């Protein structure tokens, strides 16, 4: 496994997100991620450098809606789609079936 991730709610939220907890520092992370979800035809629309908090935000559109991939200088990466929870659930299913990704179960109560 190259990458480990959590499917979890945002802090004090019911909206799910995907947090990449290991492997996001790999130079091929974005390529591997997009390859793993190729079934939904992801297309990078824009890349925004958020220098204030040392983060890159990648806006992606797909057959099932838009989502954001956020990556910071601490090699944390998140996949978020607040208004499209079905998109997050579908990405999770695609990652579950990809040999490069491993889901790590978390306690949702930790994010209340």
Alpha-carbon distances of 52 from 64, 72, 97, rounded to whole Å? 31, 11, 36
H helix or E strand, kind and range, residue 31? helix 29-36
Q: For 3-102, which CATH class?
A: alpha beta
Q: Give the pTM.
A: 0.93
Nearest 5°: the CA angle 38, 44, 45 is 140
b/e map 64-103, b = 16+ CB within 10 Å: bbebebbbeeeeebbbbbeebeebbebbbeebeebebbbe
- The domain spans of the chain are 3-102
pLDDT band at 8 (very low <50, low <70, confident <90, very high): very high
**3-state class (DSSP) for residue 64:** coil
Nearest 5°: the CA angle 12, 55, 7 is 40
Instruction: Give 50-73 pLDDT, tens digit per residue.
Output: 776 688 999 999 999 999 999 988
Label each residue of 73-101 as H, E or C: CCCCEEEECCCCHHHHHHHHHHHHCCCCE
Asked if pLDDT for residue 42 goes beyond 90, the answer is yes
Tell me what pLDDT residue 53 has.
Answer: 66
């Amino acid at each position: 496994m190259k990458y480990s991730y959590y499917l979890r709610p945002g802090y004090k939220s019911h909206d799910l997100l995907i947090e990449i907890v290991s492997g996001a520092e790999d130079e091929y992370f974005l390529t591997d991620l997009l390859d793993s979800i190729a079934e939904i035809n992801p297309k990078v629309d824009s890349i925004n450098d958020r220098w204030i908090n040392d983060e890159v935000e990648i806006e992606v559109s797909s057959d099932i809606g838009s989502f954001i991939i956020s990556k910071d200088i601490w090699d944390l990466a998140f996949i978020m789609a607040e208004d499209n929870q079905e998109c997050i659930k579908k990405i999770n299913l695609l990652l579950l079936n990809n040999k490069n990704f491993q889901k790590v179960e978390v306690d949702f109560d930790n994010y209340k």
